[in-house]
Each structure stands twice: as C-alpha cells, then as structure tokens.
Structure 1
C-alpha cells in the first residue's frame, strides 16, 4: 500500500513582524486569504490526501472549513512556537496516517507554491530516507556586518541555500525529531533543523523563486501582483 501524503500548516502565529491586527495568514491577495491560497495549492494537488491546520486556540477568524477540493481539512490547537504547532498537528493527524506517511509542512503565509515544485519535492522525499525541502541557491553577494551596519567581510555563497516550504518528512521521524528538540530546550526554526539535529541530511530540491513567504507589507504587494499575473489561480472547492 502506498503511504499517505498529508500537508500540515502551522498557523497559530500572530505575524508580529508584519504589524496590524489581522494575522498575516488571513490577509487577502487576489480576493482571498493567503492561507486559502496555500491550502488550495496543496489540496488541489492529486498526490496530497488531506491537510491539517494548527491554529491559535482563540482564533476567531478561521472560517471553519472542513474540506477543500473534495479532501479533508482538519484543525487543531497550535502552540507558541512553530515547532510546537507542527508537533501538535503531527499528533492530531488521523489514525490511518501512519509513521511512514509523508508529511509536507508548509507556511500558511507562503501562498504561491506551484504544483510542479510539489511534484519534484514528493518524488525526492519518497526516495530519500532523510526527507527533502524546497529551496533555492543563494545568488546575491553576502556581506557580514558589525553592530553599526558597516561591512566586515564578504561571505562565500557557493554552498548556501535559502530554505522554502513545503518541507517533507516521514511522520514518525519528524515527530521524534521535534520531540527531541523540545526535550533539549532547542527552538528549531524549521523542520529540517530538527531533522539535522538527529543526524539526518535532508535533500535540497530547487524550487521557483516566486514561492515567497509574506512577511512585510511590500511582500503582500508583490504577491498581489504575482496573482494578477497568474490567471486562474486557485479555486476553493
């Protein structure tokens, strides 16, 4: 039997870097919330079986969706850190999603992931025991600065990548990695970091540069433009 593939979206954060009263996953671009775009990109993909969203316990903005594109959409309460929300979601997945299931963890405010990137990620992650993440090589020149924002050095970039999402790992291995990080008092900033601490070497899958995470108002403006340039983006059912 082919292992299941589910998506997990940690969305319990407040988006404080963006500012404003509305958590950034609920900000709109091209007529619908960023989280709806992200969910539609995932659940419209034929290889993904369902999705689980980890929300703040007091989230009053969640529309109450239980399915999209004919696939189950579940929710659970998240935690104070990204890793806490992902771990809560892993524990809340349905019982038929076994430890060998492939879990795609995706940012709720990263609404422009393309189906081709998801396909390549799944292909690599299903054949690589340590999982895989989407990303892109660093192409800009990197400068190290001092406290006064003066250049100290130019850093080599030849082996550096920017990490995107989704990040894809087996449910059992990712759960164990996140639980170990929590027990060790380490706040991991993405799922790959948790896996690296366990000695894993996830594969890097180059993805599109427009798979952007909305962090600032200018990011939202750019995302609006990207969607306007991409006719037919996303339906909800």
Structure 2
C-alpha cells in the first residue's frame, strides 16, 4: 500500500501538467471570419468537452446567423467524430444570405465555460465571429493540380503523449478557403474515419499531443483518400486510395 501511495503522488504532478498543457474545451469555425459568398457553408469543430456542443446542435444548442433582428438557422448536414477529442459539424443556412449584410455566428445556451469567438489579445476576451456577405455565388469546384503524395512522417514524444503525423504534398486550384475531406482506413481492422481537415498550409494525417482527427494503433498499414470542399460547399473529384504506414521510432 505504501508503494502504491508513493506511485500515485508521483503521478499527480504529471497529471496536473498535462491538464495545464491541454485545454479542456474549444470551439472553432470555418470559414474563420471576414467576407463570404452568398452560398457559403460552415464547419464547426469541438475539442474535448466542447464535443457535446457539436453533438447537440439544434437540439440543446440552436445554431444560427444573426443580423439585427434577423435569424437564419443553420442546418446540420454532416457530423464527423474524430479519433482523438475532436468532433465536427458541416452546416448550411436554411435561407439565402443577403449581400451587403454582416452576420454573426451564434450558438444559444452555451455553458459559461464555452466560448465561441475570436480571441482578442488586447482585451483578453472573445470577439464575435462575424461575416460580411458579398454579391457572389461560387458554383465552381476546387481542382487538383497535383494530387496528394506522401512527403514525410514525424513522431515527437511529449510528457503527455506523442505528436504523430504523416504529411502529404499536393497542389490545388481554388480562390477561396477550402478543407480536405479525408477518409483514413486501418487496413488491419477495416475501420474508416472521416474528417474535414485544413489543407492550405499542407495536408497532415495524425494528431498532436492534445487532440487530432486521426490516431494510429498497433496496426502499421493504413490508406487514405481525399476530396476537396471549398467554402461554398463545392466538391472536387475524390482521389484513389493511397497506402501509407504509420511513423515508428
């Protein structure tokens, strides 16, 4: 018993360090903010405890765009559950957005500890996520000018867990912001996981110390396929499956 208590006391500082390094909640939106087209779609991500908000959208947590007294509900089109503390929803306005108007993204009934907004370094608070609607409708899908190819792998061990990624190079023809609908299959179990991830700064499959869309278990072999979605919901052609192996020490 004495040894068990000593082991527990030794573990406590590590646990507190992990809690300090990794936040307990987090909500983020795509597009981030700024100008949007009339036919924009939105993607909300919830980290850790905030995953409950994503799963409860329009049930416990109404989500909409607000401009003055006008409210435009956002319909949930897709829900995707990541493998390491991330869940996301793809949303579409139920009515047309009006050019020239400024809309604020709102989620009602959020717990006090949840913050939806843009962090302000000066005030140390959160400013609303706002969009200005242009008189543009984008109906053109993104185009692969170079389909994804594996570039390299990385594995870094931290005190609270590893950061592990398989990185792909690619090139895309697209004027607006875009995400990459990524499907990863574990070739040993056949399990598939789908998640929209950022691709503008490079495409990376895996997770950081605190969270990520994809994890790797004891299986070595995986494969992935990719499809582009721009900020107006236009979808590119899907790639073929691309085989890869997880990073190892």
**Normalised by the size of structure 1, how large is the TM-score?**
0.26
**Normalised by the size of structure 2, how large is the TM-score?**
0.25
Looking at both structures, which has the greater relative contact order when contacts are Cα pairs under 8 Å and sequence separation is at least 6? 1
Structure 1 or 2: larger helix share?
Answer: 1
Structure 1 or 2: larger strand share?
Answer: 2
